[in-house]
């Protein structure tokens, strides 16, 4: 957390970031995460207010106090929606990165782009695909006995 915010803040302070400064930094986490964010902001001199939304308790934490708003409070819902949208965006971004990356699976006969995506989604990485049994490989749509054997031989 600290490193990410320090990176963004340094770029902003040095004028190397074309994006406008945010009006508020909403940190996903509790007091520890907010503390890390505040350290980065103070170290870099980036003057952006920050609050945190604690995950389980849904507490809103500022540098000065903790708010335990009612679960039906609209201002809490706004914070939750911002957090949930950030999660959705991050997950989608990382899935796209994973799907776009060239892997050792690209050269395996019988494994096209869709099968590669299904294998990586199922197993998470090429190393895990490599360690999978032929039976586990065949559980993936598009991977039959012959393709599973080819994957095992090539990887």
Q: Which helix (H) or strand (E) holds 94?
A: helix 74-100
CA distance 100 to 119: 13
Q: What is the pLDDT along the chain (155 residues), one digit of tens a residue?
A: 899 999 999 999 999 999 999 999 999 999 999 999 999 999 999 999 999 999 888 999 999 999 999 999 999 999 999 999 999 999 998 888 776 656 788 889 999 989 998 999 999 888 999 999 999 999 999 999 999 999 999 98
CA distance 70 to 87: 23
CATH numbers and ranges of domains, the chain: 2-78 (3.30.420.340), 102-154 (1.10.150.20)
Q: What is the pTM of this model?
A: 0.63
Q: Can you give the pLDDT at residue 103?
A: 76
Assess contact for 52 and 30: CB atoms under 8 A: yes
Query: What is the per-residue pLDDT across 16-39, written as a single tens digit (0 to 9) for each?
Result: 999 999 999 999 999 999 999 999
The token pair at 96 is 């796209």
Question: Over the chain, what is the mean pLDDT?
Answer: 93
Burial class (CB in 10 A: 0-12, 13-18, 19+), 34: buried
**What's the DSSP call for residue 20?**
P
Residue 17 gets the label, from left (phi > 0), alpha (psi -120 to 50) or beta, of beta
Query: What is the per-residue pLDDT across 92-110, written as a single tens digit (0 to 9) for each?
Result: 988 887 766 567 888 899 9
Q: Can you give the pLDDT at residue 101?
A: 59
Assess contact for 48 and 82: CB atoms under 8 A: no
- Kindly report the CA angle at 150 between 146 and 154, in degrees rounded to 5? 175
**What's the DSSP call for residue 47?**
-
């Amino acid at each position: 957390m600290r490193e990410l915010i320090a990176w963004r803040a340094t770029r902003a302070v040095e004028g190397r970031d074309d994006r406008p400064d945010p009006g508020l930094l909403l940190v996903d986490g509790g007091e520890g995460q907010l503390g890390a964010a505040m350290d980065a902001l103070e170290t870099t001199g980036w003057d952006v207010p920050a609050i945190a939304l604690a995950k389980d308790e849904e507490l809103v934490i500022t540098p000065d106090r903790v708010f335990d708003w009612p679960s039906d409070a609209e201002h809490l819902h706004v914070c939750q929606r911002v957090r949930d949208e950030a999660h959705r965006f991050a997950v989608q971004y990382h899935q796209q990165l994973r799907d776009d990356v060239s892997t050792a699976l690209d050269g395996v006969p019988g494994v096209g782009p869709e099968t590669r995506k299904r294998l990586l989604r199922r197993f998470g990485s090429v190393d895990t695909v490599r360690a999978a049994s032929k039976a586990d490989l065949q559980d993936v749509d598009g991977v039959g006995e012959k393709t599973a054997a080819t994957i095992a031989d090539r990887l």
